[in-house]
Chains A and B, each alone.
Chain A
């Protein structure tokens, strides 16, 4: 049977090629995201070794690592991270809750959106720091100022996206609710909210990131604790190694915060992936 023989000969190399290709694809998946950071790290390390810039300007990775262990051992870094986290969560929860309420009001009520939407849009065009001088006058430079600025950073994106998310709910779905005699409340909880949820949630994630960045900025300008403070403080003391530790920590904390929300999203939005995976 020549056909069978032919079949036996052919598949082996092609299967192996396939396996290779799959392995290569996996490698791609793992390698590419790390490539650029690794190159930068390599250059940094090389630059430190070759004294391209001098450790006053750019401390070597080793020095930064030393400084990290030192800051960890003294507990200073943990304290600053915790303080910053506490502040950001406080402000973010306040801001996103208000944003949800405001966005929902504008999304659900014509009158509310007529009154509020233009103003909200206008405010959204003023950069965060534009408010700082005014808010400093109003609230001083204490914790209230930070809470207000951090809250405001989350409030606007959440409000605008909640509004847009609700307006984008397909009327087709709402009609189904009408057919089955849904009350307003049922329609709100069982149709409007789940349908708008993906958009609202992505704005909540974005809001948290914005809150975090806003906090670091206020801490830079007006604080005696927290990661932002650690950054300016180290800079003023010419401890650039410690400053870099702060910079990296800010990045890591921001990333982790977003990942936590991403994980929650994955769980709640199972139905979105269901069509593709598994």
Chain B
């Protein structure tokens, strides 16, 4: 079993170069996350939430500051850190089953145990019977569930989630929220989840990081000292939700996830790393 990892972010700054001008996207991010903790991140569109996750997962090389996992500075990507992207990013030429197995390609397991793990996770996200479907045949919500299964099946120590439930119906969403919570507890996984849904942030988070835009900064961190499973109808729950909402309402956040950022158009993309 993977152990949950601690995450330490110190004086993190990130710029993108736009029209030869450095554009600050993240400014002076400081955050310490304990092993097994669940952090919700909320903030208006464009305030750098996805960028923060890209940095932690190890996809961005250029940044200032420190990102440490269990005390070790991160170097590139690692099988110990998993991510569910804002867009599902399934490979259209692979079936559901094969897409999930992608994350076990380089795992140290027998093919039998890989196969079992894949099927257990297909069942978990409620896609039994769709093992051999192509992503083109799935709805947005189903695709996102496949992406969640793909991220979980390799049992990472830290799981990053970028609005994973944005495209789901309310029923599936609350079902998966509960599932996710159980799995993370069982496996002992540290999680950071970006969401636009404040209720979701309160329901799942041990702490809620509220970010503000231009450049992206942490406005404040809200503790959620409620016992689990949480009662969404309770007074304490509503009070925390209202508190975070108050922060949020200054800049009106769009209810739906924005279209994927156009990383694809970076002019100098190279197949190399």
Contacts and interface: CB of A to CB of B under 8 A. Distances in A.
Given A180-B102, A272-B136, A191 B91 contact: yes
Interface of B is mostly: loop
A108 B136 CA distance: 28
A170 B271 CA distance: 10
Contacts of B266: 171
Interface centre among A169, A171, A182, A186 (most CB of B within 10 A): A171
A180 B264 contact: no
B105 A180 contact: yes
Interface residues of B, number: 34
B134 A271 contact: yes
A114 interface: no
Interface in B60-105: 76-79, 81-83, 85, 87, 89, 91-94, 102-103, 105
Given A171-B266, A195-B93, A176 B134 contact: no
Contacts of B154: 180
Nearest to A271: B134
A270 interface: yes
Contacts, number: 79
Interface residues of A, number: 32
A181 B87 contact: no
Nearest to A269: B93
Nearest to B79: A181
Interface string B34-64: 0000000000000000000000010100000
17 contacts: A108-B271, A172-B85, A172-B87, A173-B89, A175-B89, A176-B85, A176-B91, A179-B59, A180-B79, A180-B102, A180-B105, A180-B154, A181-B79, A186-B105, A271-B134, A272-B92, A274-B136
Interface of B: 57, 59, 76-79, 81-83, 85, 87, 89, 91-94, 102-103, 105-106, 133-137, 154, 260, 263-264, 266, 269-271, 273
Interface of A: 107-108, 110, 166, 169-176, 178-183, 186-187, 190-192, 194-195, 197, 270-272, 274-276
